[in-house]
Amino acid sequence: MEMHQVRYFLAVAEHLNFTRAAERLHVAQPSLTRAIQKLEDELGGPLFRRERVHTHLTELGRLMRPHLQAALEAAETAKRQAQSFRKRETGQLTIGACSSIAAETGAPLLAGVSAEIAGLTLQVEIGPANLVEDWLIAGDVDAALLAPLDGVAVVRHERFDLRRIAEDLFCVAFAPGHRFEALTEVVLENLDGEPLIVRLGCRHEEAIAAAMDARGINRVARHSSGDERWLASLVRQGLGCILWPESITRARSLPFRPLADLPLRHRVALTTVAGRRHSPALAALVRQADVAGRRRPSDAARVA
């Protein structure tokens, strides 16, 4: 039994007319008739009762119709899934990205992969760090862009394999005209009582808060968001300052000053799951990350 025979049978069963079924299928009527006859021979009896101007399903035809319909649908579903699998294996890449990471940091990496693999389809899913890590472990994303705290690999998932692609220092960003513009650098004491805007889903915020608490600095965390565009807008409107990596601050065109006494680095790592097979697209992404890592000092090429 071949699938084209099944399609021909179902078309005739729908139209109850060999001529109209052949027209709909764009095949010659003799070819359709021969295919139905071969199917009848295989099933052991006539499927249609042919009269002068009318065609009816036989009892065998009525019995076979739902089974053949299900067989055709199953075959088409299998074909679609196989096509989707091949596409995913060769030309589709889904990346999870921590919401605290600037798009400008990861986009060049993805652009490099897209240039290497023609027709690549990219999908980027944004979320807080914990959620992105869960996506990666579950296989919902192929890789993730994470910001491990000061270079320490995430310990709650020992299978993570991290490749550092970028790092920079934190600074204080503020609205134009803020009093910090008169300074050459900012220290934590300058932030005592200063309204701060907090990045949701960012582990570095915990380290910043701990550093301020340890020195008895009044930390006023008044506003928050998990979206960098909103964070930048809130800062620009004068609703508070933000402690941000310098690269993100520059990308958002905000005035800033170096944060002199908080040696906290923002490191971005391409993260995959060790032992999991890489598709061609993911392998290309890993190669791009290795190239990006080699552009940094040797001790920053990989997070152990």
Distance of CA 293 to the CA centre of its chain: 22
Contacts of 124 (CB under 8 A, 6+ apart): 94, 95, 96, 97, 106, 110
CA–CA distance, 220 with 242 (Å, rounded to integer): 11
Residues paired with residue 95 on neighbouring β-strands, in sequence order? 124, 143
- Please provide the CATH number assigned to the domain covering 168-265: 3.40.190.10
Q: Are 162 and 274 in contact (CB under 8 A)?
A: no
pLDDT, position 236: 95
pLDDT, position 238: 95
pLDDT, position 207: 83
CATH class of 89-165+272-300: alpha beta
What's the CATH architecture for 3-87?
Answer: Orthogonal Bundle (1.10)
| pLDDT < 70 stretches in the chain | 52-53, 83-90, 150-157, 295-304
Q: What is the pLDDT of residues 101-133, one digit of tens each?
A: 878 888 888 898 888 887 788 899 988 888 888
pLDDT, position 89: 53
pLDDT, position 175: 96
Q: Whole-model pTM?
A: 0.59
Find the farthest-apart pair of alpha carbons in the chain and give their distance in angstroms, rounded.
98
Where in the chain is CATH 1.10.10.10? Answer: 3-87
Where in the chain is CATH 3.40.190.10? Answer: 89-165+272-300, 168-265
- The two structure tokens encoding residue 12: 């005739």
Number of Cβ atoms within 10 Å of the Cβ of 41: 10
